[in-house]
Structure 1
């Protein structure tokens, strides 16, 4: 992951994005130490008990946000959602990242 993480950080620093969504992270607890990026809060949902998949969302630290639970089958649907508090006189925004594996069953599509 080292080269990909470095490439991501270079892109983020040069572009100045507030939000970065990533699918197919392939992360697990062994990536805790190197998935963090200075200036960003990391939200992630690793794929349990299987290789591959997973989603992550980096949010700039200056943005006030909380992770949301959307009420779908959280074990089977690979999605992650956050509510970002709006600035003066603006409503909150909800942002998410979703990964749909090519072999996903129709009942999971319907649950989402």
Structure 2
């Protein structure tokens, strides 16, 4: 989300250390209110499974942002060390203060 917010593009590569793109989010070529989400198949899967979605930019990024906040708030329940829990709360607070969509 931060990469998309700052650079208007975001991507992730294969988690096994490869250099193949797994997912990319970029602006639509002609409509600034939309984004293009490209999902590549995992290694060994047919390239016909490559997917492209055109989505409303603000709604997509807001859904990701809301999911990120929810994830971090849920994660708070599992902190045992109070210092770590307080740091996580500060992180959530910083996320809530900067809209990433």
User: How would you bin the TM-score normalised by the shorter chain?
Assistant: under 0.3
TM (normalized to structure 2)? 0.28
TM (normalized to structure 1)? 0.26
Which structure is higher in RCO with an 8 Å CA cutoff and minimum separation 6?
1
Tell me which protein shows more strand as a share of its residues.
Answer: 1
Tell me which protein shows more helix as a share of its residues.
Answer: 2
